[in-house]
Amino acid sequence: MSAPLRLMAVHAHPDDESSKGAATMARYVREGVEVLVCTLTGGERGSVLNPKMDRPEIVADIGEVRRAEMARAREILGVEQRFMGFVDSGLPENEEEELPEGCFALQKLEDASAPLVAAVRAFRPHVIITYDDDGGYPHPDHIMTNKVSVEAFDAAGDPDRYPGSGDPWQPLKLYYQMGFTKERFEALHEAMNERGLGSPYADWISRWEDRPAKWPVTTRVPCGDYFQIRDEALLAHATQVDPDGFWFVCPRELQEEIWPTEDYHLARSLVDTALPEDDLFAGIHADDVSPACH
């Protein structure tokens, strides 16, 4: 192909890009694809989740600390990254708790989508990755991230929508990231038990409802060789990721052997492609790929 392919990943907070689809991005970047991460909020309301980093001077300056962490993760992954400028909504402790005024999840859809539409028109991605409509995990910012990503995918190519935010550009495929599937955790759980490592996932798996997936996996991207880069990027988010915690319980070598892919649901496609796929760009041909205009 003459012009490079371009991939955009839309995320709610700094650190989400390193825990959802990071090895996929690391692989594509190293294969010559241009990758842009759009981070909708600054993560200002994230708690410090790593006890080793829970110090007053860090808590007091969490916005700045998280920007520095994001810059480091971006370098490790090798991607471009931009903040879309919204304020973290925080994770409510119960259903009655009201979201803070002005936060991302309370924005009108059009206001919340405008910077992303502009980013799509400027970067001109062929493929966009985001979360499913449950947000992948029920944080109000993650659910809103799904809504604005779908809106941007549908509207960025329409010259009558979002006037003044650049020349129209229609991305070709939209994916939902499907990292937290029952099958994947069951496979890792079994492998850990077989090897006498003791799995911490039993309780969690037993509470998982046994029903057909709302968004079945259509696409598995082989990227086990990039799990190390993924882990390094995750560790760069030191306030959010405990090196002795959840993310690192299952040895990386075991993940590479048992589940060496990151998985996706193809939510929209304007090209013909045969399912299942092993490449996010499957079905996209040289004719579809026009040069970027940054």
- Consult the annotation and say whether 142 binds a ligand: yes
Strands 127-130 and 34-41: unpaired
- Which residues in 12-71 contact Zn ion (CB under 5 A)? 12-13, 16
Least separation, in Å, of the C-beta of 84 and Zn ion? 14
Locate 145 and state its tokens.
Answer: 């991230």
Residue nearest to Zn ion (CB): 13
Q: Structure tokens of 91?
A: 């994770």
Q: Choose one: 9-17, 79-87, 89-97, 180-188; the region binding Zn ion (CB under 5 A).
A: 9-17
Rounded to the nearest whole angstrom, what is the least distance from the CB of residue 154 to Zn ion in the complex? 23
| β-pairing verdict for 261-269 and 219-222 | antiparallel
Smaller CB distance to Zn ion: residue 12 or 53? 12
Radius of gyration of the chain (CA): 19
Residue with tokens 């994916």: 175
| Alpha-carbon span 278 to 247, nearest angstrom | 24
Structure-derived torsion over alpha carbons of residues 285, 286, 288, 289, reported in degrees to the nearest 10: 130
Using the minimum distance from each CB to Zn ion, give the nearer residue, 105 or 221: 105
Given a contact cutoff of 8 angstroms between Cβ atoms, the answer to whether 124 and 293 are in contact is: yes
Q: How many positions of this chain bind Zn ion (CB under 5 A)?
A: 3
Other CB atoms within 10 Å distance of the CB of residue 68: 14
Cβ closest to Zn ion, residue 10 vs residue 156: 10
Beta carbon nearer to Zn ion, 12 or 105: 12
Q: Which stretch binds Zn ion (CB under 5 A): 8-16, 104-112, 208-216, 244-252?
A: 8-16
Task: For residue 13, say whether it is annotated as part of any ligand binding site.
Answer: yes
Report the nearest approach of Zn ion to the CB of residue 13 (Å).
Answer: 4
φ and ψ of 4, to 5 deg: -70, 150
Our CB check for Zn ion shows the closer of 144 and 223 to be: 144
User: In the bound complex, what is the minimum distance in angstroms from residue 173's beta carbon to Zn ion?
Assistant: 23
Is 231 among the annotated ligand-binding positions? no
Six-digit token string for 282: 């499957």
Minimum distance from residue 192 beta carbon to Zn ion (Å)? 26
- Asked if 140 and 165 touch (Cβ cutoff 8 Å), the reply is no
Binding site members for Zn(2+) = 13, 16, 142
> Which residues bind to Zn ion, rule: CB under 5 A?
12-13, 16
Binding site members = 13, 16, 142
